[in-house]
Amino acid sequence: MSVISNNLQVVRESILVAAHTSHVMCPIKLLAVSKTFGADAVIAAALAGQQAFGENYVQEAVQKIASVRTVRPDLALEWHFIGPIQSNKTRLIAENFDWVQSLSSEKIARRLAEQRPSHLPPMNVCLQINIDGSDSKSGLASNQALELARVIATLPNLRLRGLMAIPDACDDEQARRVPFRQMRQLFDQLFNQLSQELSEPITFDTLSMGMSGDMQAAIAEGATMVRIGSAIFGQRDYGNKQ
């Protein structure tokens, strides 16, 4: 077995154990975060049964998506954009991704809606929430989420799927759960509010939180999707990316 397929197996098992320990009944979706790793790593994971992949850097991702398609046109993969979004990159994102999890402004939402090619299904989007409220981080304040969610509901070519957050790393096991719990509360509130307001059935079903270092805490607090990079692909070498 390759290292990647072995790691994937370990990660899948820890997800099951964490869900079981926390009495979570719903399946938890695994997003494999392949940033800084090449098409070969993606293909190895895909051949081990992984379907959804997350990327942070547009240029790198677009090249990788194209090479994976060239080498293995038979693999039907799902690509999630999870990095900061500059407005001059929205077209490439709209053309190449199935999901955007890092949406936090109306301007970007409108551009993605306009630029989504008509032959593709609607872009699935999650609002990124700055749950720690720190100045340096991207994402919306919790109290701005409803307003943007309402705007997205009116836009064509976008489908609002839920929320995403990247809380600060924290050594203490109990303290680490706090922002995840706040995210779950916000998610439930928005779900209820939007179900009442909107006439169409809503597909607000995704709470994307938890990474290699804090997946258990996120699952215990109700994550429906975890985004795992290093535990699957190994340590990242950012080279000139930072």
Ligand X SMILES: *Cc1c(COP(=O)(O)O)cnc(C)c1O
Report in angstroms the alpha-carbon separations of 157 from 110, 125, 160. Answer: 10, 10, 10
46 contacts 72 by C-beta, under 8 angstroms: yes
Which residues are near ligand X by CB under 6 A? 33, 35, 56, 82, 166, 211-213, 227-231
**Cβ proximity to ligand X, 155 vs 225, nearer residue:** 225
Q: Least Å distance between CB 51 and ligand X?
A: 17
Give the span between the Cα atoms of 13 and 16, in whole angstroms: 5
Q: Which residues contact 51 (CB under 8 A, 6 or more apart)?
A: 76, 77, 78
**Cβ proximity to ligand X, 148 vs 218, nearer residue:** 218
- The residue sitting closest to ligand X, measured at its beta carbon, is 229
In 3-state terms, what secondary structure has residue 206?
strand
**Cβ proximity to ligand X, 155 vs 208, nearer residue:** 208
**Cβ proximity to ligand X, 24 vs 228, nearer residue:** 228
In 3-state terms, what secondary structure has residue 63?
helix
**Cβ proximity to ligand X, 56 vs 157, nearer residue:** 56
**Cβ proximity to ligand X, 61 vs 158, nearer residue:** 61
In 3-state terms, what secondary structure has residue 179?
helix
Q: Least Å distance between CB 42 and ligand X?
A: 14
Helix 145-154 and helix 106-115: axis angle, to 10°?
20
75 contacts 52 by C-beta, under 8 angstroms: no
Q: Least Å distance between CB 208 and ligand X?
A: 8
The angle at the Cα of 176, spanning 18 to 186, to the nearest 5 degrees, equals 85
Q: Least Å distance between CB 31 and ligand X?
A: 8
In 3-state terms, what secondary structure has residue 38?
coil
Q: Least Å distance between CB 83 and ligand X?
A: 6
Q: Least Å distance between CB 226 and ligand X?
A: 8
Residue in the structure block whose two tokens are 């306009």 = 114
Q: Residue 13, by phi and psi: left (phi above 0), alpha (psi -120 to 50) or beta?
A: alpha
Q: Least Å distance between CB 61 and ligand X?
A: 12
**Cβ proximity to ligand X, 193 vs 230, nearer residue:** 230
